[in-house]
């Protein structure tokens, strides 16, 4: 009988803790409260998303009291608690049936069905492999503010695409008739073939130049964040990265190294001689294998990350830090 603990359970759940009962000899002996603290930046991320007119819903398997306590802390109004993986996917479908476009953010195995069913599945790269594979977008940090940055980059990219289409369509609509000699009988205007080819190349150059502006995209910043600093990897480290085609963890390791300015040599395990080299030298042939000054690390990116930070002396860049 848990009635004698009901008040304490309610108090702990109202504080955002999950309650686990302990029994001895078939009788309830007590309870244990565990908590998963809200990550830094979650409140800012939710506020930023709501400020852009987005409706934020929290779906969780936690008890109703615990879920609502966490939701109050981060500023979420609508909460669906005690839901199973299938219930999360059903909630996504219900929102879609109402004509809404749904982006689902998750990192666990139980999030995979909802990630796959959403219009955009955003997987947290520090989560489970199945969640990463189910997502359309993979964020490399476990920081919800990265969702805001990713959305800003997506909007900027889409805006650039629209401008490119507008420019290319207008440019070609105006100059193709000139190049074809449509106006020659009336104006005497005619482009020589060489000039027409040059004008076409100019259109492509302008479109590409406009697209390259995305390289200078500045993500939104949040109060209290430190100014970005250039990463400072340990000098002199020789890094070999054994990869294989279609390997998401390989892409995650490469992105991690490149973002921190770490030079590496990539080797393709799909080539028999490279696979044999990996087995002979390191006793493994499953990608990704990261070798730093002769010492090999392998397994999913989430397992390799701490070792990479320690061996290379590189932490999370300031723009990704919470």
pLDDT in tens, 121-130: 998 876 667 7
What local confidence, expressed as pLDDT, does residue 316 receive? 44
What local confidence, expressed as pLDDT, does residue 92 receive? 95
C-alpha 319/C-alpha 226 separation (Å) is: 7
Torsion of CA 150, 155, 160, 166, to 10 degrees: 160
b/e 251-282 (16+ beta carbons within 10 angstroms → b): ebbbebbeebebebeebebeeeebbebbeeeb
C-alpha distances (whole Å) from 113 to each of 85, 92, 123 are 7, 10, 12
Q: Residue 143's closest CA among 41, 269, 217?
A: 41
Task: Please tell me the least confidently modeled range out of 4-13, 151-160, 218-227.
Answer: 218-227
Q: What is the mean pLDDT of the chain?
A: 84
At 230, the pLDDT band (50, 70, 90 cuts) reads very low
Residues 239-312: name the CATH superfamily: Glutaredoxin (3.40.30.10)
Q: Where are the domains of the chain?
A: 3-34, 42-147, 150-216, 239-312
The answer to whether the CB of 285 falls within 8 A of the CB of 273 is no
Q: Which CATH architecture has domain 42-147?
A: 3-Layer(aba) Sandwich (3.40)
pTM over 0.75: no
Q: 297 — alpha (psi -120 to 50), left (phi > 0) or beta? A: beta
Parallel, antiparallel, or unpaired: how do β-strands 18-24 and 239-243 relate? unpaired
pLDDT > 70? residue 213: yes
Percent of the chain with pLDDT strictly greater than 90: 30
What local confidence, expressed as pLDDT, does residue 318 receive? 38
What local confidence, expressed as pLDDT, does residue 237 receive? 74
Cα-flanking dihedrals φ and ψ of residue 22, to 5°?
A: -115, 130
What local confidence, expressed as pLDDT, does residue 286 receive? 87
The strand pairing partners of 71, in sequence order, are none
What local confidence, expressed as pLDDT, does residue 224 receive? 60
The answer to whether the CB of 139 falls within 8 A of the CB of 154 is no
């Amino acid at each position: 009988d848990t009635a004698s603990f009901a008040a304490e359970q309610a108090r702990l759940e109202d504080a955002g803790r999950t309650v686990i009962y302990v029994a001895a000899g078939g009788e309830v002996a007590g309870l244990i409260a565990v908590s998963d603290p809200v990550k830094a930046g979650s409140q800012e991320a939710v506020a930023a998303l709501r400020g852009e007119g987005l409706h934020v819903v929290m779906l969780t398997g936690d008890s109703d009291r615990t879920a609502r306590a966490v939701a109050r802390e981060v500023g979420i109004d609508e909460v669906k608690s005690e839901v199973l993986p299938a219930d999360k996917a059903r909630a996504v479908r219900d929102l879609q049936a109402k004509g809404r476009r749904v982006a689902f953010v998750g990192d666990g195995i139980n999030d995979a069905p909802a990630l796959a069913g959403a219009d955009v599945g955003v997987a947290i790269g520090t989560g489970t492999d199945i969640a990463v594979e189910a997502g359309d977008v993979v964020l490399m940090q476990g920081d919800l503010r990265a969702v805001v940055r990713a959305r800003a980059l997506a909007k900027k990219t889409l805006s650039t695409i629209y401008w490119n289409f507008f420019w290319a369509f207008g440019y070609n609509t105006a100059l193709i008739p000139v190049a074809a000699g449509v106006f020659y009988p009336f104006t005497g205007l005619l482009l020589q073939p060489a000039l027409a080819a040059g004008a076409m190349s100019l259109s492509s150059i302008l479109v590409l130049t406009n697209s390259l502006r995305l390289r200078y995209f500045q993500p939104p910043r949040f109060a209290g964040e430190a100014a970005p600093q250039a990463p400072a990897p340990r000098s002199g480290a020789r890094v070999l990265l054994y990869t294989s085609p279609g390997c998401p963890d390989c892409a995650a390791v490469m992105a991690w190294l490149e973002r921190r300015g770490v030079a590496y040599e990539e080797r393709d395990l799909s080539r028999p001689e490279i696979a044999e080299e990996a087995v002979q030298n390191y006793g493994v042939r499953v990608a990704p294998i990261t070798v730093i000054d002769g010492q090999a690390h392998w397994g999913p990116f989430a397992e390799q990350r701490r070792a990479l930070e320690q061996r290379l002396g590189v932490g999370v860049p300031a723009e990704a830090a919470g």
